[in-house]
């Protein structure tokens, strides 16, 4: 890998999710700004900029109420039942 990435900052911007539609965006984390309930989250199939593959347990997150805060969870799409969050795009 020849590039240095600072994961403290979004490498491709951000996207606000404030509805119940499927949001298909590659993200490396998200910040909940208003308590959110996730109905579905899909793990990425590509490798991260750091060269690692994701082997997460995203189904366990569905139906949980997430309080405000930052969640360093990668994904390729997310669907909310309620709440608002900001995706940090990669």
For 80, other C-beta atoms within 10 Å of its C-beta total: 22
pLDDT of amino acid 2: 42
Question: Is position 18 within any domain?
Answer: yes
Question: Is position 21 within any domain?
Answer: yes
Question: Is position 1 within any domain?
Answer: no
Question: Is position 42 within any domain?
Answer: yes
CA distances from 73 to 2, 40, 47, 54 (A): 24, 13, 14, 10
pLDDT of amino acid 80: 96
pLDDT, tens only, 37-76: 999 988 887 766 667 666 666 667 778 899 999 998 888 9
The rounded mean pLDDT for the chain is 83
- Euclidean distance between CA atoms 30 and 54, whole angstroms: 16
**With 90 as the cut, is the pLDDT of residue 25 above it?**
yes
Question: Is position 30 within any domain?
Answer: yes
Question: Is position 8 within any domain?
Answer: no
Question: Is position 6 within any domain?
Answer: no
Domain carrying residue 49: 14-89
For 87, other C-beta atoms within 10 Å of its C-beta total: 22
């Amino acid at each position: 890998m020849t590039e240095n990435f600072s994961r403290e900052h979004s490498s491709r911007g951000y996207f606000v999710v404030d509805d119940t539609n499927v949001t298909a965006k590659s993200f490396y984390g998200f910040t909940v700004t208003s308590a959110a309930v996730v109905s579905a989250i899909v793990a990425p199939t590509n490798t991260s900029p750091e060269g690692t593959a994701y082997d997460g347990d995203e189904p366990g997150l569905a139906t949980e109420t997430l309080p405000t805060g930052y969640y360093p969870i990668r994904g390729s799409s997310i669907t909310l039942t309620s709440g608002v969050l900001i995706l940090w795009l990669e």
